[in-house]
Chains A and B, each alone.
Chain A
Amino acid sequence: MTVLHDTALQHGTPGASALLRPWVLDEHGQIALDRSGTPDHFAVLGLPRRLGLDAQHLDITFRSLVRELHPDRFARQGAAAVAQAQRHTSLVNDAYRTLRHFEKRVAYVLEFAGDLQEERFHPPAELLTQVFDLNEAIEAMQEARGEGDADGAGRAAQDLRHAAAAIRDLRAEVTAQMHAAAARWDAAQDAAERAGQEVPALVHARTELRSVLGHARYLDNLLTRLDHCATL
């Protein structure tokens, strides 16, 4: 079975689906998976393995591939052709679904490199203070509501909104950090492809991405909890 690594050299010609088969399917005509069973989404779409993807270019590539490979195009050619088209189109769909969102793309690149460990994120001290304030505001609100204190609940809700706004600002900052880290990963990937092997900068860039992604997920969980409180 062909194993495609994150450092494997792939110079994709965008939209050139004629090249799809040798990349995606191994010598038995089977789907090539990496060691964790993940298909190579970049290779499927014929795109270079970079996080800085042009969204419009991705959309156009996806649509042209799907128009060509969709099983409905093969309905007159019998069950085997349809089954093959199902497999190919599912790969294109799966690749597009994962790569079209920047943060899913980051997570996928790490997962493909076997580098997405469930590592506990350690929030910095100032964030912990904010989370502490947040918890207090939530408790105050619940308490005030429990006692039927409309004014108190209103004030607590106000505090909660301020705290949430601060978390959202922080989340936006983390997104910006992730973009910067992604650009560094792309540059390291360029270097690795030139060198034909993994370079230290790439390992470093992955570590950085993993840490930023962990931060982002921590904040998302917080925001989900806040949204939940807001609907109560």
Chain B
Amino acid sequence: MRIHIAASNPGPKTDTRATVGIDLGTTNSLVAFVDEAGRPQIISGPDGPLVPSVIAFGQDGELDCVGCPANARLCEHPDRTIYSVKRMMGRGAEEVVAELGMLPYSVHRSAGSSAVRIEVCGRRFTPPELSAFVLRELKQRAEVALGKPVARAVITVPAYFNDAQRQATKDAGRLAGLEVLRIVNEPTAAALAYGLDKRPQGRIAVYDFGGGTFDVSILQLHAGLTEVLSTGGDTHLGGDDIDQLLVQTMAGELAAAGIDVRGHLDLVQRLRQAAIELKIALSTQEHATYPLDLAPLHQGKLDFTVDRPTFEALIAPIVERTLVPCRQALKDAGLQAGDIDEVVMVGGSTRIPLVRQRVQELFGRAPHVEIDPDQVVALGAALQADIMTTGRRDMLLLDVTPLSLGIETVGGVVSKIIQRNSAIPASATEEFTTSVDNQTGVVLHVLQGERELVTDCRSLARLLIPVAPMPAGLPRVAVTFLIDANGILHVTGRDIRSGTEKTIEVKPSYGLCDEEVVRMLTEAFDHAETDIARRQFIDARSEAQQVIHATEVALATSARTLIDDDELDDIKGEIASVHAAIATEHAEPVRAALARLNQATLHLAEVALAGALQDAVQNPRIEEALSHGPDPAASKPHHGPRLS
């Protein structure tokens, strides 16, 4: 894959490089663009629109694959398959352990920086580096679909993300070779996507319950201007918590039956998979059953059945927790629930009927679910990218900062200088002086949060403000804190006596400093060539695996009886060659072997299709007829062997 170093030549209009909108999610990520007609579109890949935010590494610690194929490795290699990176962004090592609980990989705090490092097969990665793998996958997907390089992106974050988490996301973009035009809040992006088709005026509440975070924003629309009035949320609350709760319940029941899954990483992953499947099924069904394979602890499959009332009773406290920030956001906006004209639902967890019911009760109106809750944020991000790059839309987003910014004063007390829910960019200027003669600097501790004490707020950075040596109390330095449109802090100091101005380096308490990002970028550039080859091999391998799988599925159907043994041997021989080609770890042999396999299976595909059509006459569910295979994934039509 090509690494594009950020815009050395920011030429307007004549740009042949595309700009995309990216929803970098806890569980899944998406990429979208705005077409010639001005409509935002999701860019789908072979596995559909969602790219699971999962990264799988090989035994050597080299990147193996990202997205769906990586997701499939979770149970097989839990120790080198990373998920939920978003929950680690901008956090310290202790926090990550507390947040994610038992992790199958080790977490480190490296010297010189408090940013967390994740160790995989002897290599250590920061969360932005891991997220960059997902972003590169999305970038690549967009480049293939759009047929041109993608250099710039708007990336979304939860509205309630703090400065460090936003900065980490921006760093991830840079590491993936993207110029990050803007960091946009997810609920705001969703409102933009809805606002395109909806009323030009009015008040909107966006309820965004995603995989790992919960956000709520109250917005006011005035003819193209989307003004955020207030925002609230919980960065520790998401669909993951529902999964976790189900896993605990299931593990408890298993323990009661004498099966202890603790310490079996692969089994815990299987339980997690089961929990997700059950949760999804219960959004449309009253009962759901999942056959759980607990080998080697237990022979045969155990059927887990959950009914909706039990599920709802279990998750009710989590759903109630989301309503607290909703009430607070209304209060902060100076509004009552009845003042809201529209409620918009975002995030996969809003498919849960109990969630919809409770939101409807709170706001007294049925929420909008017209746009796919998984896609609406990426669509809005693409719109924002279009607003910023084409100038063809009379639309503007005016967002707010979710957390108050403060500085430490005497006695460990926080003095707030920019209140939460202030429209951004926002600034505050404070004047400082010295307390000791010939002091050459003033150290400021900058924090984010709503509490009064330093220990209860989030440390953002310590700043060293340079001061010309003078008797105590004489120097006068005006320090301006600016929260930019991305929600990221910039600090400038100004000597009032001399008038000289100076940008002050913000040394983050949790995150990467600029030198680290530059070093990582250089490393990524050095690896760019091998990355491209690796990437091509990985793509070829996934395609080959799909075709082999589909062929095996077809051979398990009645189509097998319609081909002779010679043909069967031929096919088996070609499958073996593809496997041998994969072992070389090079793309070209795999592509060649795959072409021969496709040739050898042409006839099989024809008879399988004919048989399927015949079955379809008796049974209209053609997809089911096509796959009698054991794998539910095979029911997706695109997994069939080259049928067309």
Contacts and interface: CB of A to CB of B under 8 A. Distances in A.
Are A and B part of the same complex? yes
Interface of A: 1, 28, 30-31, 33, 36-39, 63, 66-67, 70-73, 75-78, 86-87, 89-91, 93-94, 96-97
Interface of B: 10, 12-13, 181-182, 222, 225, 227, 384, 387-389, 391, 396-398, 422-431, 478, 480, 482-485, 490, 494, 496, 499, 501
Contact of B396 (A1, A39, A72, A97): A72
Given A1-B496, A93-B423, A66 B396 contact: yes
Contact of B427 (A63, A70, A77, A94): A94
A73 B398 CA distance: 12
Chain A binding surface, main DSSP class: helix
Contacts of A76: 10, 12-13, 388-389, 391
Given A33-B478, A37-B430, A67-B396, A86 B485 contact: yes
13 contacts: A28-B499, A30-B499, A30-B501, A31-B480, A66-B225, A72-B397, A73-B396, A75-B182, A86-B490, A87-B425, A89-B485, A90-B483, A94-B426
A75 B181 CA distance: 8
Q: Looking at B181, B387, B422, B423, which has the most chain A CB atoms within 10 Å of its CB? A: B423
Given A28-B499, A72-B388, A93 B225 contact: no
A97 B418 CA distance: 11
A37 B478 contact: yes
Given A93-B423, A96-B423, 10 more contacts: A36-B431, A70-B396, A73-B391, A76-B389, A89-B485, A90-B425, A90-B426, A93-B426, A97-B423, A97-B426
A78 B429 CA distance: 26
A100 B579 CA distance: 69
Contacts of B427: 87, 90-91, 94
A97 B482 contact: no
A37 B484 CA distance: 20
Contacts of A39: 429
Given A37-B478, A93-B423, A86 B10 contact: no
A39 B428 CA distance: 9
Nearest to B398: A66
A228 to B, nearest CB: 15
A72 to B, nearest CB: 5
Contacts of A97: 422-423, 426
Contact of A87 (B13, B225, B398, B482): B482
A89 B422 contact: no
B530 to A, nearest CB: 32
A54 B572 CA distance: 82
Contact of B485 (A72, A77, A78, A96): A72
Contacts of A1: 496, 499
Contacts of B396: 66-67, 70, 72-73
A90 B429 CA distance: 12
A33 B499 CA distance: 12
Contact of B482 (A30, A63, A86): A86
What are the 3 tightest A-B residue pairs by CB atom distance, in nearest-first order? A90-B425, A75-B388, A90-B427
A71 B427 CA distance: 14
A92 B35 CA distance: 34
Contacts of A63: 222, 225, 227
A90 B424 CA distance: 7
A36 B391 CA distance: 39
Contacts of B388: 72, 75-76
Contacts of B397: 72
Given A67-B396, A72-B396, A78-B10, A86 B387 contact: no
Nearest to B478: A37
Q: Looking at B222, B428, B485, which has the most chain A CB atoms within 10 Å of its CB? A: B485
Contact of A75 (B13, B227, B389, B482): B389
Nearest to B387: A72
Given A63-B222, A90-B482, A37 B426 contact: no
Contacts of A87: 425, 427, 482
Contacts of B182: 72, 75
B183 to A, nearest CB: 12
Q: Looking at B388, B389, B425, which has the most chain A CB atoms within 10 Å of its CB? A: B425
Contacts of A36: 431
Given A70-B398, A72-B397, A86 B484 contact: yes
A103 to B, nearest CB: 14
B17 to A, nearest CB: 13
Contacts of A77: 12
A161 B384 CA distance: 50
A77 to B, nearest CB: 8
Contacts of A86: 425, 482, 484-485, 490
A66 B220 CA distance: 15
A86 B490 CA distance: 11
A108 B384 CA distance: 35
A217 B10 CA distance: 52
Contacts of A91: 427
Contacts of B227: 63
Contacts of B424: 90, 93
A71 B184 CA distance: 13
Contacts of A38: 429
A187 B130 CA distance: 63
B425 A67 contact: no
Nearest to A76: B12
Nearest to A74: B388
A96 B424 CA distance: 12
Contacts of B483: 90
Contacts of B423: 93, 96-97
Contacts of A78: 10
Nearest to B12: A76
B360 to A, nearest CB: 27
A77 B391 CA distance: 11
A85 to B, nearest CB: 8
B422 A93 contact: yes
A218 B227 CA distance: 33
B418 to A, nearest CB: 9
Contacts of B387: 72
Nearest to B10: A78
A231 to B, nearest CB: 13
B625 to A, nearest CB: 52
A36 B428 CA distance: 12
Contacts of A37: 429-431, 478
A71 B431 CA distance: 27
A70 B227 CA distance: 12
A62 to B, nearest CB: 9
Nearest to B182: A72
Q: Looking at A36, A77, A94, which has the most chain B CB atoms within 10 Å of its CB? A: A94
A90 to B, nearest CB: 4
Contact of A71 (B425, B426, B428): B425
Nearest to B490: A86
A93 B485 CA distance: 11
B482 A33 contact: no
A190 to B, nearest CB: 30
Contacts of A66: 225, 396, 398
A13 B482 CA distance: 27
Nearest to B397: A72
Contacts of A67: 225, 396
Nearest to B430: A37
A57 to B, nearest CB: 15
A58 to B, nearest CB: 14
Contacts of B12: 76-77
Contact of A93 (B13, B181, B425): B425
B507 to A, nearest CB: 21
A94 B400 CA distance: 12
